[in-house]
Structure 1
């Protein structure tokens, strides 16, 4: 009687694991928009101040980061690394959450998802500018097309709300948030090869503590706040500002940045879908359509984001 053949235990490949971790990071970041709106409330029914949300979420992440850096016995940043870390601090720890928080008091999370869908393209453009890379002409064309789509969407939304064909100031805040985050990402990317991805976000949060802790104490709410707003603040502090980066950076390392980074194209759609149960927003075909169009330009633009070949040297 023949013996059964023992099959080897299957192991999740690094590529597959990297894709799943990257997708987890995307979902974590996508929930930032509805969670931030839940924390700040609306102009008609405000909850936590956007200033307090900005300082408190970074202070919470800073405490977790300090514990992580101590446990892992991480070295101090070298002088050459502090400049890029400060740029990341200004963009990711302060600029992006503050501008986003104020904007989300006046527009829906779904609306914000369309504008912030330009973030990957904006990051590539700022990287090309600051790092003096020669991006291809096609990249700049798609970047311009994506920006034009966002402007058209904003004008259309303003007209539908009865404000005529004029950009709302909340859209300017969202564009500022995208630019701030892009600058922060580029600063962090500059020191990631020497400092390590997880330590970059941890040092950013720790370096911000002398500002974020006093800021949180000075802007502490002086009236009753709904439990849902406090829970949302806990989410953006623990996950959006800190733990999400661990999954995202580890996914990029295991699965390859080129492959895993494409999962970021799903982020605006996850934000739009999550806003339905969390905030009671309705699915809007116009918003979904513009989100799809903007993501398409981001996809094509990122494929052309590689530096253009240099012209041949003259003899």
Structure 2
């Protein structure tokens, strides 16, 4: 029979794992609103300014967190990983999605999120040196073909720029997620995104200042609310829960919660933006998610 000490350790591990799933789920829900909110914001704000502004606002808040908790500076060998995280999730994904949403609807762009867990897993394989089974690559190819086929069926000539930008956004975000998840094991969950934001703060603040509109008089309340959401929630609070969840519950396990993100995102796009979500779009999203689920299952 297990000793009392062993039972206590097992219970603590179980509780930590449960908290990881809860934190990861909250983070995923927050991220689900990012693309609909960005879509609203880019209708009235320049996408490059939006990228700089959201990172600047989140960076100032991150500075407050670091100072309040008196966090030690990252080690020198961690700076490269933080730079990769910053380029992926602070600069790359927000900028590329903001540019893409000038050409496609948020509902259309959310379909591409079905590839995000796969991109994260693929970069995890490259970073961790794992050797997935051949079935992993089968699901990977099927998921990619489904997304490309959907883009062609929708008239690729009309949204080619948006689709290419979304694919690039998924790639850089997957890299940022994988790098951040690995770094969170030693640096801490919320610390990763906070230091990544601070690392990019000088450049992003300068960018926002240079591209600031001459007048904000014509910017509507929904656009301001969308900017606030992507700055405070998508860029900071969501990552606090997400990276904490990855650290507590395991990267591979909690990372699968990303598979639910397209469903919540499509629901938000239909509810808040009154965008049309066709049965075909839902079908492709479901098929892509199933492919990614299969790839994740055979990733080791």
Q: Same fold (TM over 0.5)?
A: yes
Q: Which of 97, 101, 117 is 2:98 aligned to?
A: 101
Is the counterpart of residue 272 in structure 1 residue 254 in structure 2?
Answer: no
Is the counterpart of residue 294 in structure 1 residue 288 in structure 2?
Answer: yes
Q: Which of 275, 285, 292 is 1:281 aligned to?
A: 275
Distance 2:38 2:126 in 1: 30
Gaps of 5+ in 2: 1-13
Residue 119 of structure 2 corresponds to 122
Distance 1:282 1:89 in 2: 33
User: Taking structure 2 as the reference length, what is the TM-score of the superposition?
Assistant: 0.90
- Match of 2:219, SS state, is coil
Gaps of 5+ in 1: 1-11, 42-46, 307-315
Asked if 2 retains the 8 angstrom alpha-carbon contact of 1:36 and 1:232, the reply is: yes
Moved more, 64-73 or 220-229: 220-229
Distance 1:276 1:178 in 2: 22
Number of paired residues? Answer: 285
Residue 230 of structure 1 corresponds to 224
Residues 113-136 of structure 1 deviation map (CA, whole Å, 9 limit, x = unaligned): 111210110111122124432222
Distance 1:121 1:235 in 2: 26
1:291 CA drift (Å): 0.2
1:14 CA drift (Å): 4.7
Residue 157 of structure 1 corresponds to 154
1:72 CA drift (Å): 1.1
Residues 103-155 of structure 1 deviation map (CA, whole Å, 9 limit, x = unaligned): 11111111111112101101111221244322221111111110000000000
Q: 1:76 to 1:52 in 2, by over 3 A?
A: same
Is the counterpart of residue 22 in structure 1 residue 24 in structure 2?
Answer: yes
Give the helix-richer structure, 1 or 2: 2
1:279 CA drift (Å): 1.2
Moved more, 291-300 or 87-96: 87-96
Asked if 2 retains the 8 angstrom alpha-carbon contact of 1:118 and 1:178, the reply is: yes
Asked if 1 retains the 8 angstrom alpha-carbon contact of 2:180 and 2:243, the reply is: no
Residue 85 of structure 1 corresponds to 82
Asked if 2 retains the 8 angstrom alpha-carbon contact of 1:22 and 1:260, the reply is: yes
1:189 CA drift (Å): 2.7
1:256 CA drift (Å): 4.4
Asked if 1 retains the 8 angstrom alpha-carbon contact of 2:116 and 2:258, the reply is: no
- Match of 1:48, SS state, is coil
In our comparison, the structure showing a higher alpha carbon Rg is: 1
Residues 4-30 of structure 1 deviation map (CA, whole Å, 9 limit, x = unaligned): xxxxxxxx9555443333221111001
1:257 CA drift (Å): 4.2
Q: Which of 187, 202, 223 is 1:195 aligned to?
A: 187
Q: Cα RMSD (Å) of the superposition?
A: 1.8
Distance 1:229 1:205 in 2: 23
Residue 202 of structure 2 corresponds to 210
Q: 1:13 to 1:80 in 2, by over 3 A?
A: closer
Q: 1:253 to 1:131 in 2, by over 3 A?
A: closer
